């Protein structure tokens, strides 16, 4: 299964629906911290470019669904970001080490464990 098929299976999204209008990226509140714009993530997955799996953007995504509300094709990018995180976490590569985190409220630790560790 190639990268596009994997992401489509995990996210339930049709990435070819995207026509790269950029409305998602224009409204994303996290875009300044990202190394790839949300619409660029889609393009790289379609091209099968594995560098997207190593990008920061899927981990920075706050899953706020702003992009989904702006997308004329109803592409749910938060689900695509989650699929990319899962592809990495399923290789047993944790994105953060929980033991090194200190002075965080319990709810942040639980949320961090769910999002950033496999």
Which is closer to ligand SF4, CB of 92 or CB of 116? 116
Which is closer to ligand SF4, CB of 7 or CB of 28? 28
Which residues, numbered 80-109, are part of the site for ligand SF4 (CB under 6 A)?
Answer: 81
Q: Is 24 in the site for ligand SF4 (CB under 6 A)?
A: yes
- The residues near 13 (Cβ < 8 Å, ≥ 6 apart) are 7, 75, 76, 79, 80
20: alpha, beta or left, given left = phi > 0 and alpha = psi -120 to 50? left
Q: Is 107 exposed, middle or buried (0-12, 13-18, 19+ CB in 10 A)?
A: exposed
Which is closer to ligand SF4, CB of 69 or CB of 103? 69
Binding site for ligand SF4 (CB under 6 A): 18-24, 28, 30, 38-39, 42, 61-67, 70-73, 75, 77-78, 81
């Amino acid at each position: 299964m190639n990268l596009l098929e994997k992401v489509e299976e995990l996210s339930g999204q049709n990435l070819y629906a995207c026509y790269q209008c950029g409305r998602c990226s224009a409204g994303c509140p996290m875009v300044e911290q990202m190394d790839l714009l949300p619409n660029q993530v889609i393009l790289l997955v379609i091209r099968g470019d594995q560098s997207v799996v190593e990008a920061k953007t899927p981990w920075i995504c706050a899953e706020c669904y702003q992009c989904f509300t702006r997308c004329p094709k109803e592409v749910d990018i938060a689900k695509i970001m989650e699929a990319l995180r899962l592809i990495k976490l399923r290789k047993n590569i944790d994105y953060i080490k929980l033991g090194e985190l200190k002075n965080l409220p319990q709810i942040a630790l639980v949320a961090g464990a769910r999002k950033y560790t496999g």
